[in-house]
Each structure stands twice: as C-alpha cells, then as structure tokens.
Amino acid sequence: MRISVLGAGAWGTALAMAAARRHDVLLWARDAGQAQALQRERVNTRYLPDHPWPDGLQATASLAQALAHARDGLFLLGTPMAALRTTLRALPERASAFWLCKGFEAGTGLLGHEIGAQERPQARLGVLSGPSFAQEVAQGRPTALVAAAADTDLAELAVQALHHDQLRLYTSNDVAGVEVGGAVKNVLAIATGVADGLDLGLNARAALITRGLAEMSRLGLAMGARAETFMGLTGMGDLVLTATGDLSRNRRVGLMLAQGLALPEVLARLGHVAEGVYSAATVAQRARELGVDMPIASAVQALLDGRLAPREAVSRLMQRDAKPEWGV
Ligand SMILES: NC(=O)c1ccc[n+]([C@@H]2O[C@H](COP(=O)([O-])OP(=O)(O)OC[C@H]3O[C@@H](n4cnc5c(N)ncnc54)[C@H](O)[C@@H]3O)[C@@H](O)[C@H]2O)c1
Ligand SMILES: O=P(O)(O)OC[C@H](O)CO
C-alpha cells in the first residue's frame, strides 16, 4: 500500500517508520531543510533521535509529491490539532485519511471529525488514537491503537497499513468517543503532573485519574459517544499512560508548572506540542455549552490562564461539597 504521512514530528515519524516495514511510505515535512536532513541522515534527529529508518521510508518537502503518492492509498495526518484543518483542506476530495492528533480545535471547539465534515465531506476519514508514546513505538515496543471510522472498510485499511507483531490495531465506529478520550486525557495529565509536582501523593493521583475519567465520560456521553469507549484503550488506557508516564509532554507541563515556571517558559523547554494546553479552554467551553460538570478540567484551564496558582487549583478541587460518587 502507498502511504503518505503529513507532518514529521515525533508521532508522524514513529508511525511512518512502523508502516514502512511493509509498505511504501513517504513522510512530508513542511520545512525543506528538515526534509533534506531526514532523507540524508535517515533518522529524525530532532524529534526521534537514535531510531534509524527502515528502507521503505522516504522523506519529502513537496506536498504535491506526498499528495500524489497516496492518492489511491492512505494518508496519515501527523500535524498538531492546530494544523488539522489546513492539512485536510490540502487532501484530494475523496482521500482516505486518519488523523493522529488529539484535541479540540482552539477557537471553534470542534473535534477532528467535525472539522473533517466541514472541509472534506466526500473523503473517507477517521482517527487513530490510543495509549502510545512515539518513542516506544519507534523502539518497536508492544503498543495497541484504535482506528475509529464510521466506514468499516476504512478502519480495515488502517489495520492493513499498521497491524503487525508489535503494533496491535483495534477498530471502532465510535469516532466521537475516541476523540473525546484523546482530547480530555491531555488536560487531565496536566492535572496529575501538577499534583505529582507538588508531591501530593499517590492517593491524590489515583483520585484525579478516576474522577477525571468520570469527567471525560460525562462530556463524551453528552456529545453522543458510547460509555464503553471510555473504559477502553482511547479512554482509560490513554489516560493512565499520559497521567502517569514521564514521557508525556502534557504531564511534564504540569510538573513544570508546579515548580513555579511560567507557561511560556514551560513550552519553550518542552520543544514539542502539548495539546492539553490548547484544548483546556475548548474542553471547558464544550462542557459549559452542554451543561456538563468538569471541575478538574476547569481548574487546569484556570491554572493555564494564570487565574489560579498550582496550590490554589488543588485547594479549589478539595473544597468542593461532598457528593455521591455516581450521579449529580
Ligand atoms: N508524540 C507522541 O507520543 C504522540 C502519540 C500519539 C498522538 N500524538 C499526537 O500527535 C500530534 C502530533 O504530535 P507530535 O508528538 O508528533 O508533535 P511534535 O511536537 O513532535 O511535532 C509536531 C510536528 O508538526 C509540525 N507542524 C506543526 N504545524 C504544522 C503545519 N501547519 N503543517 C505541517 N506540519 C506542522 C511541526 O513542524 C513538527 O514537525 C499531537 O496532536 C499529539 O497529541 C503524539
Ligand atoms: O506526550 P503526550 O502527553 O502528548 O502524550 C502522547 C500520547 O498522546 C500518549 O498516548
């Protein structure tokens, strides 16, 4: 199969490497210098150093070439959420594509499938998500992902592209559920990073993860998702990974904020996108519109906006009235 991966960050590169073990894969980097270096060095020194490329992977800075390459194959969109709309707009009208980004679009508050319906209504589109640090996939360590699409044949195409010994693909048709899980877990990982950075303990972390999962599920159900999706890889699975794994950029944002660093300094030190920073406001916005209570996500947003200091955000959560664990 011919596959083009658009976006040469850590995750786009890791999946391009995985797919290239069995397919003809072209990785598009928007920066010509970066594309030349990738092609020459056959390793992504900036985002995934120490992981040499398989023979089946080539790089280009020509978007036209990348679009032609997978015209009858599969596109994997590896840009951050902020660039998903423009990337979708560049695709052929009837392309088959999965995006890899996790978040809500800042400003509009839309999920990927809602942007896809606006920009490429005739294309076959889906989302690939699940608990997956790029570095571990590049190392060939076992990982499970979910390919979610309304079109079952499209989900099967993702399986053909990526399923192999170390990378296990499950399929789903709950696109909204998979996307809500991926977007909200990033915001919650900032919260557990703050709690761990303040040394609040393992009890606090378990409480944040569990109550965060309840928030994620409430929002998802209000948006038409299915409850079981939040118990799966793209819900609980990705939340546990991101909230506890120190490879997570979102968790690291929380850890650094707890040390008292200002957000611009945190982002400069990170050097990668941390989608929770950009999705927190839109999670809160969608929750407000739908009348969904999301106190942890709201506290993270207040922290990122500079309205609360890390310890104040924690106090705000602890001072809430007692209530039943389930129900209103
Ligand atoms: N890194 C991971 O482990 C991982 C795993 C699963 C999902 N994701 C998701 O994948 C998405 C990308 O993450 P990443 O880790 O690869 O980010 P990254 O910070 O490593 O790289 C981002 C890349 O996107 C490129 N980019 C930014 N704007 C662009 C544009 N307008 N057009 C083309 N390219 C553009 C940058 O040049 C850079 O190469 C995020 O939504 C992230 O949440 C990441
Ligand atoms: O490093 P993070 O926090 O962006 O998380 C990466 C992946 O989404 C984990 O599944």
Ligand 1 and 99: CB distance under 6 A: no
Ligand (nearest to CA of 79): 1
Which atom, in ligand 1's list, is nearest to the CA of 47? 20
Question: How remote is the CA of residue 81 from the centroid of ligand 1, in Å?
Answer: 8
Question: Which residue CA neighbors atom 12 of ligand 1 most closely?
Answer: 80
Which atom, in ligand 2's list, is nearest to the CA of 248? 1
- CB proximity list for 12: less than 8 A, separation 6 or greater: 5, 6, 27, 76, 78, 79, 100
pLDDT at 151 exceeding the cut of 90:
yes
pLDDT above 90 coverage of the chain, percent: 94
Tokens read off for 268:
């400069």
Pairing mode, strands 143-149 and 124-129: antiparallel
SS3 (DSSP) at 289: helix
Instruction: Say if residue 102 carries a ligand binding annotation.
Output: yes
Task: Please name the residue ranges forming H helices in 139-235.
Answer: 152-162, 175-197, 202-222
Q: Which domains does the chain have, with CATH numbers?
A: 2-173 (3.40.50.720), 176-319 (1.10.1040.10)
Model-level ipTM above the cut of 0.95:
yes
pLDDT at 306 exceeding the cut of 90:
yes
- Quick check: 148 and 97 in contact, CB under 8 A? no
Please state, rounded to an integer, the average pLDDT across all residues of the chain.
96
pLDDT at 327 exceeding the cut of 80:
no
pLDDT above 70 coverage of the chain, percent: 100
> pLDDT tens digit string along 39-67?
999 999 999 999 999 999 999 999 999 99
Tokens read off for 315:
């106090």
Q: How many CA atoms lie within 13 A of 289 on its CB side?
A: 11
Question: How remote is the CA of residue 106 from the centroid of ligand 1, in Å?
Answer: 15
pLDDT at 174 exceeding the cut of 70:
yes
Which atom, in ligand 1's list, is nearest to the CA of 272? 19
In this prediction, residue 80 carries a pLDDT of 98
pLDDT band (50, 70, 90) for residue 316: confident
Q: Can you tell me which residue has the tokens 């989608």?
A: 275
- Strand intervals (E) in the chain: 2-6, 24-28, 57-60, 74-77, 96-99, 124-129, 143-149, 167-172
- 169: β partners: 145
Instruction: Say if residue 186 carries a ligand binding annotation.
Output: no
Tokens read off for 297:
């996500």
> pLDDT tens digit string along 223-241?
999 999 999 999 999 999 9
In this prediction, residue 326 carries a pLDDT of 85
pTM above 0.95, yes or no: yes
**CA 165, 168, 169: angle at the middle one, nearest 5?**
140
Ligand 1 and 8: CB distance under 6 A: yes
Question: How remote is the CA of residue 64 from the centroid of ligand 2, in Å?
Answer: 29
- Smallest CA-to-CA distance from 73 within 154, 169, 166, 17 is with 154
Amino acid identity, position 205 = R
- CB proximity list for 209: less than 8 A, separation 6 or greater: 188, 192, 239, 240, 243, 244
pLDDT band (50, 70, 90) for residue 328: low
Ligand (nearest to CA of 249): 2
Active site residue 185: yes
> pLDDT tens digit string along 84-114?
999 999 999 999 999 999 999 999 999 999 9
Query: Catalytic one among 185, 218, 251, 286?
Result: 185
- 57: β partners: 25
In this prediction, residue 303 carries a pLDDT of 97
- Smallest CA-to-CA distance from 19 within 64, 58, 49, 45 is with 58
- 205: β partners: none
Mean pLDDT throughout 299-315?
Answer: 94
Question: How remote is the CA of residue 263 from the centroid of ligand 2, in Å?
Answer: 18
Ligand 2 and 132: CB distance under 6 A: yes
Question: How remote is the CA of residue 145 from the centroid of ligand 1, in Å?
Answer: 17
What CA–CA distance (Å, rounded) separates 22 from 152?
Answer: 22
Ligand (nearest to CA of 133): 1
Instruction: Say if residue 130 carries a ligand binding annotation.
Output: yes
SS3 (DSSP) at 167: strand
Q: Can you tell me which residue has the tokens 């009858």?
A: 72
